[in-house]
Amino acid sequence: MSLARSAIVTERLLLQASQPSMAAAVCDYVVRNRAHFARWDPPTGEAFYTEPFQAGRLELAAQAFGEGTGYRWWLCLQEAPGRVVGSVHFSQVARGAFHSAMLGYALDAGCEGRGLMTEALEAAIAEVFSERVNLHRIQANHRPENLRSAATLRRLGFREEGLARDYLFIDGAWRDHVLTALLNPAFQPLVGW
């Protein structure tokens, strides 16, 4: 097993692994989408919307990517490779008898409704299910009222596994989340986990 590719190209997108040099572009993305993401993301402090904070966050993400403990790719349209319009993140990568990760994703408000997140997720899932990363299971959770996210996960083959009550504190209250998962049909068990 080796590490994931740091760059993935799809029909319309470039997926790029975190690098501290991306701090200005990522900061622009989170500032630009602050109100858009507020309904779906846990609260953040004011520092989150600064370049130094994002540079530190990118440094930690690059370290996790290199160690194989987390994989975050930033999405850019091929026609505008310096402008971040989304992210796909596999966190809490666990090995041993689990070989699993949690999936998170977000897309710029101005890019919704074009199939870009489905395109990005198809490519990123193919990467983490490949022999290079070899995950067995991806878990993804969404708020019940997030119909767009639910539809995206269904399109990708995620199956609903239950409901977690008061799962995350988001938008001023504890919010329920629908639990879903996708299994890798080509998973290759390793000897001596």
Does residue 191 sit within a domain? no
Angstrom distance (rounded) from CA 64 to CA 18: 10
* Secondary structure element (H or E) that encloses residue 84, with its range: strand 84-94
Q: How many domains does the chain have?
A: 1
Output the pLDDT for position 192. Answer: 54
Block mean pLDDT (10 aa), the chain, length 193: 83 96 97 92 92 97 95 97 97 92 96 96 97 95 94 97 94 94 91 54
Does residue 77 sit within a domain? yes
Output the pLDDT for position 1. Answer: 41
Q: What is the CATH number of the domain that holds 11?
A: 3.40.630.30
Does residue 14 sit within a domain? yes
Does residue 105 sit within a domain? yes
Does residue 160 sit within a domain? yes
Expressed as residue numbers, the domain containing 11 is 7-183
Does residue 190 sit within a domain? no
* Secondary structure element (H or E) that encloses residue 165, with its range: strand 159-170
Secondary-structure percent of the chain, ordered helix, strand, coil, rounded to 5: 35, 35, 35
Does residue 81 sit within a domain? yes
Does residue 128 sit within a domain? yes
